[in-house]
Structure 1
Amino acid sequence: MGGNILFLTGMIDQRTMDKYEKEAKEQSRESWYLSWALDTNKEERAKGKTVECGRAYFETDKRRYTILDAPGHKNYVPSMIGGASQADVGILVISARKGEFETGFERGGQTREHAVLAKTSGVSKLIVAINKMDDPTVTWSKERYDECVNKLTPFLKGSGFNPATDLEFMPVSGFTGLNLKDRVSKDVCNWYNGPSILEYLDNMQALDRKINSPLMVPIIEKYKDMGTIVVGKVESGKVTKGQSVMIMPNKRTVEISAIYNELEDEVSTSYCGDNVRLRLKGIEEEECSTGFVICDVKKPVKTTTTFEAQLAILEHKNIICAGYSAILHIHSCVEEISVSALLHVLEKKTGKRSKKAPQFVKKGQKVIARLETPGPICVETFEDYPQLGRFTLRDEGKTIAIGKVTKVIEN
């Protein structure tokens, strides 16, 4: 689907597509050639699964877009969280093919976990693309489409999406490209009157950006290329070439010697919401790592090893008590944490805090807990900077809890 959007918007020319098609045929994978535009490494092409979060850019007449192609397979959920935390809008791709929708949606299927993780990572609007409508088991059937929509709606509502304002369902075919750029024709599908995916995105209201807030850019990746280059999304404020910035948590002051946009062109300023590559002067590549945050020298991001947070326990076999440890995913940072104290349980109906600290919590409960990390990490309260204040806890390959930071105890 991503490959086809790039092709339809003219970002990939026919020659490149022919090359992918030829290479895919040689490996007996002819129907996969469109996905090779975003699945670029050998492992992804051999397995037909996205492993890392692919990136690509395209433009329509109205806007510029970045596609973050996040993996769907449960072994690669950490990469999916990294992709979702940079996104403004999510496209949840559901297969309408007989048997495939059911597998994804049943208990243990990935559709459920992805919807919850997208919500926690800050994706507030979802386009639900019911894909593979061209499949012989579906043949653009309205009954099958309605069945998928009716099963998904109550579940997505339970995950925190408002069906009236946050969700948009549309039938598509990623392989043939129908309803991606241009609306699907009446001969193929006479019951759908809504917009195509790109038409809907072009007419969406732009998000409110915090351009006048202090600068914050969580580092997503870093590499050496005639100096140190870091990649990230400007979550707050703006960054200018020549500006002095601070890298937290190791309090290093560095200079931004160049800013590159999505198309590798050099620009002088980038604003909140832009995905950028920054060339840094005054620091070696080994001295910064994923999860560090580039921020304003006068008003740096908070760093701590202890913070309080509200947790919602999604699933866990056993009870959780003080001393429990898990892996924390917050913005682009992945760190081990331990629960040092459970402070209050929140009542289900009223949200009131209990006076007495609970001894343990179990699935379905909400709790205020104190969490500790071995080394300092960059966090902000959810109220001040939602992007740096919401997180996921995972253990043994499952998402255990979602949470938001309520209080940072600065060291």
Structure 2
Amino acid sequence: MFRKGGGGGGRYIYSKKIHKKTDPADSWDVEEDAIITPEDEEAEDTEFTEGEATPKVSKKKVVKVEENRSKREHVNVVFIGHVDAGKSTIGGQIMSLTGMVDKRTLEKYEREAREKSRESWYLSWALDTNQEERDKGKTVEVGRAFFETDRKHFTILDAPGHKSFVPNMIGGAAQADLAVLVISARKGEFETGFDRGGQTREHAMLAKTAGVKHLVVLVNKMDDPTVNWDQGRYNECKDKILPYLKKLGFNPAKDLTFMPCSGLSGYGLKDQVPETLCTWYRGPAFIPFIDELPSLNRKTDGPFIMPIVDKYKDMGTVVMGKVESGMARKGQNLLVMPNRTQVAVDQLFSDDYEVTSVGPGENVKIKLKGIEEEDVSPGFVLCDATNPIKTGKVFDAQVVILEHKSIICAGYSAVMHIHCAAEEVTVKALICLVDKKTGEKSKTRPRFVKQDQVAIMRIECYGMICLEQFKLFPQMGRFTLRDENKTIAIGKVLKVIE
């Protein structure tokens, strides 16, 4: 039931959805202002409207199939944060509290963990399923599981915290609608995660770039002997991280929520923290809070688009991903881009349940006919046969340089992460600089760009990739550039040169 991705290095990269209307007056004087302007946010929001899907039905078969589709709203939640903050443990505890992993299994994990004198790790084993992850206590691939409430179906994406596995983490964030930043309140651990070199900052920034609209900050390990549910320590962690999150563009009034909790004991996750332990926080617990968040606008009437995150062989070729727009039904003909391979849908699974149709926001596995497993790579896109997604090698983009010691000029190369694809790219030409405050473009071509500058540049990919203009389809048009294990820039596609 808790299957991690098959082969393909376990890279999970999908795309993003909208959480709620953003007021243009929100903090735009931030690192990202050049990348996503208020107009973009408005465009992004208005684009996702509910509508009736009009599936194409082939004329040959008129067999009536009983419709079965997930009725609850699907929400994808990614857990991010520094290594050892307790992401997997909280994920495992949620699975236990909602009854998605049974008591006997957890008792078995607890016994095995005790034998390795790692008692406190047993909950994380519900999500860290391979041996290497269990031995080292480090998540490597994005773990996946799901739980349900009466109203919603949540897919948990447990992202790795270690800086060597940030590309996998970008994959998790790219599939998410909601991000949960886990920080440890234990003395010394919060500081290590938040100071330069810690992953707390980079993860929060990548979640924002990935288009995640709402961020819940869980202050974990509040039951640690060095903390003991102390309000002073909780406020200290909150006050240190808040200015940084504001600078990224999260608005504390609308899309930021702080909560104390303990992943190991489960306090603050499903039920409120008992008053005997904590008198000062009487807000909602984590699960009821995310259950009450407003519904997302999903694009049900557009053409079908699903970036492929992973694939494996199982009596046929099975591809995994998150549906970005449109609907797919059993028996429908689709295209795999950029190879233009025609395929037919054989079976559909939404989080391990077999269904006859899937819609936007669902994490799905689709068994395809007409393609071999080795002909599919993560980063390919499964899409509508009559209205396929754009492909290209060269495109113009607006890029913000976040941190880079030297200058960047034509000929510079890096790795670009866009939806599920990771591709080597080279800067072909610098077109102009953009003023961060006024948005004005320079008249002359710059010879180089450096840290904190915004430029429009022409970028060439090593191979053919699927992408769209940011203003038409934000999920397929925003990307990050990474070099030497650091995220150096974020950008949006302005124009694809055919």
* Range into which the TM-score falls when normalised by the shorter chain: over 0.9
What is residue 396 of structure 2 aligned with on the other side?
A: 308
Q: Confirm or deny that 1:29 pairs with 2:118.
A: yes
Give distance in 2, aligned partners of 1:134 and 1:310.
Answer: 45
Q: Confirm or deny that 1:379 pairs with 2:457.
A: no
Among residues 165, 188, 200, which one is paired with 2:254 in the alignment? 165
Q: Confirm or deny that 1:219 pairs with 2:330.
A: no
Among residues 231, 236, 239, which one is paired with 1:150 in the alignment? 239
Deviation at 1:61, TM superposition (A): 2.3
C-alpha deviations, 1:146-194, integer Å up to 9, x for none? Answer: 1111111110011121111110000010010000001111111000021
Give distance in 2, aligned partners of 1:384 and 1:182.
Answer: 41
Among residues 381, 387, 398, which one is paired with 1:293 in the alignment? 381
Q: What SS does the corresponding residue of 1:115 show, helix, strand or coil?
A: helix
Give distance in 1, aligned partners of 2:486 and 2:267.
Answer: 35
The one-letter code sitting in structure 2 at the alignment partner of 1:127 is V
Q: Confirm or deny that 1:109 pairs with 2:188.
A: no
Give distance in 2, aligned partners of 1:99 and 1:59.
Answer: 35
Q: Confirm or deny that 1:76 pairs with 2:165.
A: yes
Deviation at 1:214, TM superposition (A): 1.1
Among residues 334, 337, 340, which one is paired with 1:251 in the alignment? 340
- What is the 5 A alignment of 1:369-408? 369-408=457-496
Give the unaligned 5+ runs of structure 1: none
C-alpha deviations, 1:238-292, integer Å up to 9, x for none? Answer: 1111110011000111001110110x22101100000000000000011111000
What is residue 41 of structure 1 aligned with on the other side?
A: 130
Deviation at 1:66, TM superposition (A): 0.4
The one-letter code sitting in structure 2 at the alignment partner of 1:102 is E
Q: What SS does the corresponding residue of 1:399 show, helix, strand or coil?
A: strand
Give distance in 2, aligned partners of 1:323 and 1:166.
Answer: 39
Q: What SS does the corresponding residue of 1:119 show, helix, strand or coil?
A: helix
Structure with higher RCO (Cα < 8 A, 6+ apart): 2
Q: What SS does the corresponding residue of 1:4 show, helix, strand or coil?
A: helix
Give distance in 1, aligned partners of 2:378 and 2:289.
Answer: 34
Q: Confirm or deny that 1:357 pairs with 2:445.
A: yes
C-alpha deviations, 1:211-261, integer Å up to 9, x for none? Answer: 111111000000100000000000111111111001100011100111011
Give distance in 1, aligned partners of 2:292 and 2:285.
Answer: 11
Q: What SS does the corresponding residue of 2:430 show, helix, strand or coil?
A: strand
Q: Confirm or deny that 1:137 pairs with 2:226.
A: yes
Q: What SS does the corresponding residue of 2:399 show, helix, strand or coil?
A: strand
Give distance in 1, aligned partners of 2:367 and 2:414.
Answer: 34
What is residue 205 of structure 1 aligned with on the other side?
A: 294
Give distance in 1, aligned partners of 2:272 and 2:396.
Answer: 48
Among residues 359, 365, 368, which one is paired with 1:280 in the alignment? 368
What is residue 358 of structure 2 aligned with on the other side?
A: 270
Report the TM-score when normalising by structure 1: 0.99
Q: Confirm or deny that 1:8 pairs with 2:65.
A: no
The one-letter code sitting in structure 1 at the alignment partner of 2:394 is T
The one-letter code sitting in structure 1 at the alignment partner of 2:332 is Q
Q: What SS does the corresponding residue of 2:170 show, helix, strand or coil?
A: helix
* Root-mean-square deviation over aligned CA pairs: 0.7
What is residue 146 of structure 2 aligned with on the other side?
A: 57
- The size of the alignment, in residue pairs, is 409
Q: Which contiguous aligned blocks of 4+ residues in structure 1 show a shift greater than 4 angstroms?
A: none
Give the unaligned 5+ runs of structure 2: 1-89
The one-letter code sitting in structure 1 at the alignment partner of 2:391 is T
Report the TM-score when normalising by structure 2: 0.81
